[in-house]
Amino acid sequence: MSHEITSSDGLVLARNGAWHGLGTVLPSATSVRESFRLAGLGWRVERHPIYVDRTTILASGQDPLDAVAEHPRDGAGSALQVQPDRVALVRSDTVDTFEVVGKGFEVLQNDELADLIESLSKVGAMQTADTAGSLRGGRNVFALVPRGEFDAGSGGRDPVRSYVLFSNAHDGSGSLTIVPTDVRVVCANTLQAATQGIRIRHTASLKTRIAEAVAALSIADKRAGEFRARVRHLAATPMGDEDRRVFFLKVYERAFGEIPGRPTTATERAKVERATETVGGWLANLESSRNTGTGTEGSVWHALNAVTEWSDHTRRVRGDDRANRIYSNLLGTSAAFKAGAFALAEAAAG
């Protein structure tokens, strides 16, 4: 995937352009349904039958999936044969085909996702969305809904906002996922202790999904409460220069592989150069205005945020940086990297 946010995607954000200038910025959070409307999510996913030209396949030896035709030819003697167990998922406004899936795949439409999230307001006051939009041409639709705020340190100088991320895949690549996500306000770092979330299958009815989502939200809130305690423990645990150096090396090598101790080849020297540049960036982040004056300087939390700030705002992402970064931070490579860094920070804090 070269671009996660394409010309057929939309994005709205409350209060500030947290994602590097992308999307429509609103003065405040609005209702989930209104956020979906402003993000251009009024389209639907249609199920189209799949036809295969058996004559072409038999003559060429072509893979049947490469001979898919969405609209059969008219006329007697047509060799097109409908595939009884497969359908194409097609975006209604652009007529883009997302994927070919089994007939058991049940679509969760965008308006149904908005209904699902708003129905949860009865059990958790989730009536607004801070961010909503689509990625990869509509293949992923997501919303960030607020769930409160806490201070990582003391005196309100390092606020962290708690959210629940709802992510729905329209291409058969994943389930509806509900993930507790936190954003460190001073530098818009997204933080997740785990990336897998709670998954709801696309084979369930909407009524079943609502029941499962209520249960998932309860689990998410429990995890969020645990996460707050873990963050405060990191913020209260001091980390000296040597421990921080070891921590940075472990984080780097976990994500990018071992750093050669005695480089002799051009490849090994390039690896050392990349590691030196990256870790140097983390060290510089320790002294940035976003990571000083919070009351948590010199702690494990302080070191962790030097890493997560780099991952959210500086690290390279595939294709256009601005277009891919939101996907990476919430659902992709950066999210997995930060979860690994968080686990190492907890190990360092003991």
Q: Are residues 186 and 294 in the same domain?
A: no
Long-range contacts of 14-21 (CB under 8 A, 24+ apart): 14/128, 14/129, 14/130, 14/131, 15/130, 16/188, 18/131, 18/183, 18/188, 19/131, 19/322, 19/325, 19/326, 20/313, 20/321, 20/322, 20/325, 21/322
Report which of residues 56 and 346 the model is more confident about: 346
Terminal Cα distance for the chain, rounded: 39
Instruction: Give the pLDDT of residue 329.
Output: 82
Instruction: Give the pLDDT of residue 3.
Output: 43
Instruction: Give the pLDDT of residue 149.
Output: 85
Residue 1 has which token pair? 């995937």
Last residue of a domain, one of 216, 233, 250: 233
Q: Are residues 225 and 240 in the same domain?
A: no
pLDDT at 15 > cutoff 70 = no
pLDDT in tens, 179-205: 888 888 877 788 876 666 677 877 767
pLDDT in tens, 117-157: 887 766 555 667 778 888 888 998 988 888 888 888 777 78
Instruction: Give the pLDDT of residue 268.
Output: 93
pLDDT at 336 > cutoff 50 = yes
Local structure of 79: helix, strand or coil: coil
CA distances in angstroms from 225 to 39, 219, 228, 231, 252, listed in the order given: 31, 10, 5, 10, 28
Backbone φ and ψ for 190, nearest 5 degrees, come out as -90, 140
pLDDT at 18 > cutoff 70 = no
Last residue of a domain, one of 233, 258, 293: 233
Q: Are residues 220 and 252 in the same domain?
A: no
pLDDT at 267 > cutoff 50 = yes
Q: Are residues 75 and 165 in the same domain?
A: no
145 CB contacts (<8 Å, ≥6 apart)?
32, 117, 126, 128, 129, 130, 163, 164, 166
Region 65-94 average pLDDT: 69
Q: Say how many residues make up the chain.
A: 350
Percent of the chain whose pLDDT exceeds 90:
32
pLDDT in tens, 304-318: 999 999 998 888 877
Backbone φ and ψ for 9, nearest 5 degrees, come out as -100, 160
Domain hosting 227: range is: 107-233
Instruction: Give the pLDDT of residue 249.
Output: 96
Region 81-93 average pLDDT: 88
Instruction: Using the structure block, give the residue that is written with the tokens 């956020």.
Output: 35
Instruction: Give the pLDDT of residue 202.
Output: 79
Instruction: Give the pLDDT of residue 16.
Output: 55
Local structure of 160: helix, strand or coil: strand
Backbone φ and ψ for 51, nearest 5 degrees, come out as -120, 145
Region 210-218 average pLDDT: 78
> Which strand (E) or helix (H) includes residue 99?
strand 97-102
Beta strands 176-184 and 198-200, pairing class? antiparallel
pLDDT in tens, 156-165: 788 888 888 8
Residue 188 has which token pair? 């818009």
Q: Are residues 249 and 324 in the same domain?
A: yes
- pLDDT level of residue 75 (50, 70, 90 thresholds): very low
Q: In what order do the strands lie in the sheet with 68-69?
A: 68-69, 45-53, 80-91, 97-102
- pLDDT level of residue 69 (50, 70, 90 thresholds): very low
Domain count, the chain: 3
Region 279-304 average pLDDT: 92
pLDDT at 338 > cutoff 60 = yes
Q: Are residues 227 and 140 in the same domain?
A: yes
Q: Are residues 142 and 222 in the same domain?
A: yes
Q: Are residues 121 and 178 in the same domain?
A: yes
**pTM score, two decimals?**
0.78
The dihedral through the CA atoms of 40, 42, 47, 52 has a sign that is negative
* 7 occurs within a structural domain: no
